[in-house]
Chain A
Amino acid sequence: MHDTTLLLIELGAILFALGLLGRFSRRIGLSPIPLYLLAGLAFGHGGVLPMSASEEFIAVGAEIGVILLLVMLGLEYTARELIGNLRTNASAGLLDGLLTALPGLAFGLLVGWGGVAALVLAGITWVSSSGVIAKVLADLGRLGNRETPVMLSILVIEDLAMALYLPLLTAVLAGTGLIGGAKALTIAVGTVIVVLLVALKFGHAISAFISARDPEALLLGVLGLTLLVAGLAAKLQVSAAVGAFLVGIALSGPVAHHATELLSPLRDLFAAVFFVFFGLATNPGDMPPVLLPALALAVITMGTKILTGYLAAKRAGIAVPGRIRAGLGLMPRGEFSIVIAGLAVASPGIEPRLAPLATAYVLITVVSGPMLARLPDFAWFKAIIRRSQRPVPRAEPLPTTD
């Protein structure tokens, strides 16, 4: 059979299967990410249905998927929101980083996988999945809750922190050592600050340059600009993902709004391809030995995430039930952890058990996280909290940031 023909058949089969899985996940109220990862495991080397012809295409698609995930994340936030959040919630973000990244780092060092793998693990355990969490919040009708802004600002700061972490990681993975890492970090910090300032001052000019009126031109313009900047960023060793994120931040107003609508279906397609690709690269046979360590890591870092949410909500004057909701809600890790692991797996000389561990870790947190997030809604859970609290007069709710 001709190569292209085989490619079409394989790709079609994969996408069709993903479509069914997506529908299934919606029905059982779960994020489709774990199912996509499992599908990748099944289709990959050592899986039940190994595919070969489409692997190269999927690899490129996965790269585009990461870029689209990041540009959409950037489009969701405006520069003003990012700077405002950084100003008011920097300490919560710092606490979050310390509590959730350090266990990953320590784990990597303890099991002797080396500093680079430990750095990767720190990122994997650090970043919560803003996509999964936003959806859980909407599903549980908690968008109006008073702890929700606290959770969202932690997510925003994590995403912003990634703009610095990813270039650092890229440089370290490229083997440039500490000096190279420091250089990349300096470039990244400079770029992020410049982009934020430019977006704040001239965001409307940039957006006006790309007209929002013609959907076709807008789609091609935004996609082209994103890929171009991502490519240039990769060339400068600042990570393609970060370039895309910054393009998303720089765009604002109606252009951002329409671009979000237009890019969403593309993002869904290529992000699914990305998760499958990551699963493809992992041999299911490597999974069982890392399951227990992954579970341990998940339990520890989900615990520290609860603590993060609890303390951050407490600082914002939220009562105990809200603090617990914030903590439990922040647990799922998802797309970002896979992006980080994906970067690491692609570079030579990294610990081979990292990819299966990351897959297992994300599977555990992304499945159990949204389920555990529902706990505070149950009557028995509320009763336990009420009983554990001494009958103190209810604190007057503090005003949140205006």
Chain B
Amino acid sequence: MFDVRVRVEQTALPGIGVRHDLVTESGRRLGVVTHRTGRRDLVLYDEDDPDSCTASIPLNDDEAEALADVLGASLMLGQLSGLRQQAAGLLTEQISIPAGSRFVGRRLGDTKARTRTGASIVAVLRDGQVIVSPGPEFGFQAGDVVVVVGNRRGLDGVGQILADGDPDS
């Protein structure tokens, strides 16, 4: 999961929990203190004194999950764009579902996107969260952003389907 250049240090805090920390490429140190009670603190270290943390931000379960999702989403999108560069001809695009689309409230399977265009919907971004590999039963909402992988023609086709319906018309 982690790039080999990143080393996450794990340090036991007897009686309290455990601390994970890493030094970023830019030389900043940041970490997470996980308490036994389940509480998590995001800690940022001082630039002048890298042993001391200048900020310790307590995160509850929801906040930690949201932060992980945001980081995970941007990470996944970054990796997708990396993929695009690796395989010539394979493209990814984010297509939003406008409020007026006829697929708002309908299922992913109803778009028949893959059979009609050859491109796949690999993820949906909704409220800052990533829904990876949505199934055919997945229901769209206005404002969803779908992540599509395919060739240029396929991507344009999916864009057209979601915008008004028929790629062949």
- Chain A positions within 8 Å of B, measured between CB atoms, are 76-77, 81-82, 84-85, 130, 134, 141-149, 152-153, 155-156, 257, 318-319, 321-322, 325, 382, 394, 397, 399-402
Contacts and interface: CB of A to CB of B under 8 A. Distances in A.
B50 A146 contact: yes
B16 A134 contact: yes
Given A257-B36, A400-B9, A402-B9, A145 B14 contact: no
Interface stretch (B51-59, B93-101, B128-136): B51-59
A147 B51 contact: yes
Nearest to B51: A322
Interface in B1-22: 7, 9-16, 19, 21
A321 B51 contact: yes
Contact of B49 (A76, A82, A156, A321): A321
A265 B49 CA distance: 38
B123 interface: no
B41 A152 contact: no
Given A77-B15, A81-B14, A141 B53 contact: yes
A156 B12 CA distance: 12
B148 interface: no
B136 to A, nearest CB: 40
Interface residues of B, number: 26
Contacts of A148: 13
A143 B13 contact: yes
Question: Which 9 pairs across A and B sit closest by C-beta, in order of nearness?
Answer: A144-B43, A322-B51, A76-B15, A144-B53, A146-B51, A141-B56, A81-B14, A156-B14, A400-B11
Given A141-B56, A143-B13, A144-B53, 13 more contacts: A76-B15, A81-B12, A141-B55, A145-B52, A149-B11, A152-B16, A155-B14, A322-B51, A397-B50, A399-B7, A400-B11, A401-B11, A401-B12
A142 B16 contact: no
Given A143-B41, A400-B9, A152 B51 contact: no
A143 B43 CA distance: 9
Given A149-B19, A319-B51, A322-B49, A143 B56 contact: yes
A382 B49 CA distance: 10
Contact of A156 (B7, B9, B15, B53): B15
Given A143-B33, A257-B36, A325 B52 contact: yes
Contacts of B31: 144
Nearest to B15: A76
15 contacts: A82-B14, A84-B12, A130-B15, A134-B16, A143-B56, A145-B51, A145-B53, A147-B51, A152-B14, A153-B14, A318-B51, A325-B52, A397-B23, A397-B51, A399-B7
Contacts of B41: 143-144
A400 B13 CA distance: 11
A81 B11 CA distance: 11
A16 B66 CA distance: 44
A147 B16 CA distance: 14
Contacts of B12: 81, 84, 149, 401
Contacts of A400: 9, 11
A253 to B, nearest CB: 11
Nearest to A82: B14
Given A143-B33, A402-B9, A402-B10, A322 B15 contact: no
A142 B11 CA distance: 14
Q: With a 10 A CB-CB cut-off, give which of B15, B19, B31, B53 has the most chain A CB atoms.
A: B15
Contacts of A141: 53, 55-56
B53 A142 contact: yes
A319 B53 CA distance: 13
Nearest to B23: A397
B42 to A, nearest CB: 9
A367 B33 CA distance: 28
A129 B29 CA distance: 30
Contact of B33 (A144, A155, A318, A322): A144
A3 to B, nearest CB: 42
Given A257-B36, A321-B49, A322-B52, A144 B14 contact: no
Contacts of A321: 49, 51-52
Contacts of A394: 50
Contacts of A82: 14
A190 B12 CA distance: 27
